[in-house]
Structure formats: C-alpha cells, structure tokens
Amino acid sequence: MPKKIFSILVSMLFICTIISVNVFAGSEEDPEIIDNEDDLFGALVNAPYRLRSIIALKMLGIESFEMIDLKSAWIFENENEPEYLFAAVKINDLQFIKDRAIYSVHWKFNNIKYGVGSHAYSSGETSCFVGVDRSRRLYESEVEYDLENNIVTFKFLKVNIGDPQPGDMLTNTYAWTAIRFFIGPLSLLFSDGELVKDAAPFIEDNEDYGRDYIIQY
C-alpha cells in the first residue's frame, strides 16, 4: 500500500476515533459538566455556618442545602427516540422541600442560548420547560426525579431547541440549581430571589463551561 494512501487511512481512523469519543460522551460516568465541591452561594450561604443560614434551615424545615448541591450534569440521546434530547443533573442529596427548588441545564446552539429546567415542591408537584434562555419562547417538557439515585432527568423535543441535526454541536454547557422565592417571614429579609444557588462549573463572567456535546441522531 502506498505511503500516501496509508497516511490518509490512518488520519481518517484518528479523526473517527476523536469524533466517537465526543459523540458518545454524555453519561453519569463521563459527564460534560462537573461541579466543584462545597461551592453553594447566595444570600443565605455567603459565609459557611453563618447565623442566618442556621436560622434559614430551621425556618425552611430542612436539614441542609445538599438537595441543590450539584455533582455533575450531562446531555445524552436515545437512538430509539431520535426526535428527543435528554439532559440530567446529579445532586448530592436530592429531595423535595416545602419551598421551590429549581434544577437546570444550559447550552448554546447556533449562537443562541438554550436551557431546560424544572421546578419542584415538597408535594412532589413538578413542572418542566425548555427553550431559549431569558425569553418567552419556552415549551412544556418532561422531567423525572429519581430520589434513590439523586438524579433529575429532562426529556425534550429537539425542534424546541433549534432542531440540531447529527454532527451539530452544543457548546458553552453548564448547569445550575437554586432555592428561590419562598414566602414567609424569612423572605422579608431578602430582595434577591436566589437565596441559595449552585452552578457547575462555577461561572465567572460566562467564561468557564463544561465540555461540548455533538448530536448523534
């Protein structure tokens, strides 16, 4: 075999290997987004063990803020449902509390920012929405809460996020969670709705992101 043809074949194999690694990334074992530990922030937890945090935990009726402490997040697909995209977030101790908690994953496609998110309450009631970030272009979607494995999984139509096709790339991936907008005596102390928040990775001026994801199907 001529050296030139051999070199081309080797190069093609190398490229396919790289694409395969990227394409099939996206799982609990190999997530696009990984969080730093102990990086919760917001009005209630700006300093560890502050008195305000202790009071807040008592008034919120929870033992800790672990239920919004992100561990990782990932994007994935199912070849049997190619019209859908999936995303998931893993939490340190997922549970429902009496005040609203939010879980979300975000990315950019064709230079447009998209996101999928869910609100959850202690009753087990949830809602899920997907679409263009910070806009009214949002669509109802599906969400599943796996309290045993501490994972929130989103399922949504690709047509609602710009209709990406195989080979298209989702970039600037990140996730965040929060407790916000509860109603009660404690809420009078704060004007910021995001009372406790976590982000993965911790975003400084939107320059730090997780790994890109390439659409497979």
Q: How confident is the model at residue 174 (pLDDT cuts 50, 70, 90)?
A: very high
φ/ψ of 55, rounded to 5, equals: -65, -45
Domain boundaries, the chain: 3-214
Residue 8, pLDDT above cutoff 60: no
pLDDT digits (tens, 9 = 90+) for 119-142: 988 788 899 999 999 898 999 999
Q: How confident is the model at residue 159 (pLDDT cuts 50, 70, 90)?
A: very high
Q: 152-156, 160-164, 181-185: lowest mean pLDDT where?
A: 181-185
Question: What pLDDT was estimated at residue 167?
Answer: 97
H helix intervals, the chain: 3-23, 51-60
Percent of the chain with pLDDT over 90: 53
CA dihedral angle for residue 155, residue 200, residue 132, residue 204, rounded to 10 degrees = -170
Q: CB within 8 A of 205, min separation 6: which ones?
A: none
Residue 76 CB neighbours (<10 A): 18
Residue 39 CB neighbours (<10 A): 15
3-state secondary structure of 100: coil
Which residue in this structure is represented by tokens 């005040």? 99
Which residue in this structure is represented by tokens 């869910």? 118
φ/ψ of 190, rounded to 5, equals: -135, 145
- Mark 120-149 as b/e (b = at least 16 C-beta within 10 Å): beeeeebebbbbbeeeeeeeebbbebeeee
CB-count exposure of residue 168 (10 Å: 0-12, 13-18, 19+): middle
Nearest to residue 174, comparing CAs of 128, 112, 115? Answer: 115
Measured CA to CA, the distance from residue 106 to residue 213 in angstroms comes to 12
Residue 16 CB neighbours (<10 A): 11
Averaged pLDDT, 207-217: 93
Question: What pLDDT was estimated at residue 50?
Answer: 66
pLDDT digits (tens, 9 = 90+) for 54-100: 777 777 777 788 899 999 999 999 999 999 999 999 999 998 876 67
Q: What's the distance, CA 170 to chain centroid?
A: 13
Question: What pLDDT was estimated at residue 186?
Answer: 55
Question: What pLDDT was estimated at residue 108?
Answer: 97
Measured CA to CA, the distance from residue 124 to residue 96 in angstroms comes to 7
Which residue in this structure is represented by tokens 């399922």? 155
Question: What pLDDT was estimated at residue 69?
Answer: 93
Q: How confident is the model at residue 211 (pLDDT cuts 50, 70, 90)?
A: very high
Residue 183, pLDDT above cutoff 90: no
Question: What pLDDT was estimated at residue 180?
Answer: 73
Residue 23, pLDDT above cutoff 50: no
201 and 183 Cβ atoms separated by less than 8 Å: no
**pTM for the whole structure:** 0.83
Q: 23-32, 154-163, 179-188: lowest mean pLDDT where?
A: 179-188
Residue 10, pLDDT above cutoff 50: no
Averaged pLDDT, 145-150: 96
